[in-house]
Amino acid sequence: MSGATATPGAAPVAPLPAAEPRVRRTRRRGLVPAAVAVLYVLVALCAPLISPYDPDHADLVARLSEPFTAAHGHYHLLGTDALGRDVLSRVLYGSRVSIAVAAATVLVSGAFGVLLGVLAGWYRGWVGVVVMRIADIALSVPFFLLAILVVAVLGPSLVNVVVCLALVRWPRYTRIAYAGVLETCERGFVRGAIAVGAPGRWIVTRHVLPEVLPLAVVVATLELGLMVVFEASLSFIGLGVRPPTASWGSMLSDGQQYVATAWWLVTFPGLALFGLVLAVNLLGDTVRDRLDPTRRVPRRPFRKACPGRGGRAPGWLRTAARSASRPAGRDPGASAPAEQDPAGQDPAGQDPGVSGPAGQDPGAAPPGTGGSARHDSGAAAPPDTAQEA
């Protein structure tokens, strides 16, 4: 034990937990996907500045040019498509559409779903029943069927894609928020706030939402990559953004008939889509490990309080541990009792049951009284002695 002395007859103090190296591994594991995701965002924001050509400019003379070749005085790093448009420029501009749709969908569906889940979990009763039944109905509707209905009514556009995806994904946030509110309302601090008459709005914003929002953030990070795939799927079947706007899904759709002759038309958009989805999913796993209470990685104990002591407990904590290890009723300032040998003898060699000198029988008469007979403490006194008394 570090700094704690065992006391005879007391339960041993449990050793202080060692620092967990898993925390550092988890942080390092999340740095790479976070850096890749940030790189994608920067590329999407700076696409007009770093794009070598106009993504919508067609040059039929340079159509289907291979990557890393120069055609008619123009160098196309990733080649050109069937209309002579630069593939690199369209891939850069396509990242803007995918990231914008995914971020907008997560924000809209997350805010709407969390709001309905908190209302259903707080008020319960018929409000909770109606909201959760609507969520169940929305979960049972096929995604592509709803997308076809929305596009058929509103037409293909970027805003309609966000609306379609938000209508499909909000029940996930509602169910998570509803379960989180029900669990939080059973805790002591919420019951205490209700008992003292705190307003419901104050309880929800001060106690309930801080417990629900981490769960919603975990779901949002995991949904972000899925929204990128859904947007590419809608654009692939022609229900996404309108042409000639660059989108990874539409580029895959246009290049599928040239797979045998122009492999770069589907390879580079597919790699860009794969890299973004993989980075976002790995980042979502890291955020889940950091925020989800059921999967939370233990932190290093005392690292912040004692950065130079290698995680060792401070002195006040070791003192508290020693105080907790003492038997109940013992004076903390009293000296420790004398140690006894295993045979039950004290250091002087005297039997613990003997009250007289060493080796004397406890039932023998004291020396100098003239009697050597033993008297039973429970025996009756002689008749003459009792009469005199």
Task: Let me know the angle formed at the C-alpha of 311 by 309 and 317, rounded to the nearest 5 degrees.
Answer: 90
Q: List Cα–Cα distances, 200 to 7, 184, 205, 216, in angstroms.
A: 51, 14, 9, 21
Q: Is 227 within 8 Å of 165 (Cβ atoms)? A: yes
pTM of the model: 0.65
- Looking at the chain, the whole-number percentage of residues with pLDDT higher than 70 is 67
The answer to whether residues 26 and 289 touch, using CB atoms and an 8 Å cutoff, is yes
The beta-carbon contacts of 350-354 under 8 Å, at least 24 apart in sequence, are none
Give the bridge partners for 75, in sequence order: 70
Q: Which residues contact 177 (CB under 8 A, 6 or more apart)?
A: 113, 114, 116, 117, 118, 121, 212, 215, 216
For residue 207, what is the DSSP state?
I
List per-residue pLDDT tens for the chain, 389 residues long: 444 444 455 445 445 444 444 445 555 677 888 899 999 999 999 988 888 888 888 888 888 888 887 766 778 888 888 888 888 999 999 999 889 999 999 999 999 999 999 999 888 889 889 999 999 988 888 888 887 788 778 877 888 888 888 888 899 999 999 998 998 888 888 888 888 888 888 888 888 888 888 888 888 988 888 999 988 888 888 888 888 888 898 889 888 888 888 888 889 999 999 999 999 888 888 887 777 555 554 444 444 444 444 445 555 556 656 666 666 555 545 554 544 554 444 444 445 444 444 445 544 444 444 444 444 444 444 444 444 43
Buried b (16+ CB within 10 A) or exposed e, 216-252: bbbbbbbbbbbbbbbbbbbbbeebbbeeebbbbbbbb
Structure token digits, residue 34:
């976070």
Other CB atoms within 10 A of residue 68 CB: 11
The pLDDT of residue 130 is: 92
Write out the H or E segment, with its range, that includes residue 128.
helix 125-140
Residue 86 phi, psi dihedral angles, 5° rounding: -70, 125
Percent of the chain with pLDDT over 90: 17
Question: Is 231 in contact with 246 (CB distance < 8 Å)?
Answer: no
pLDDT value for 173:
93
Say which amino acid occupies 28. R
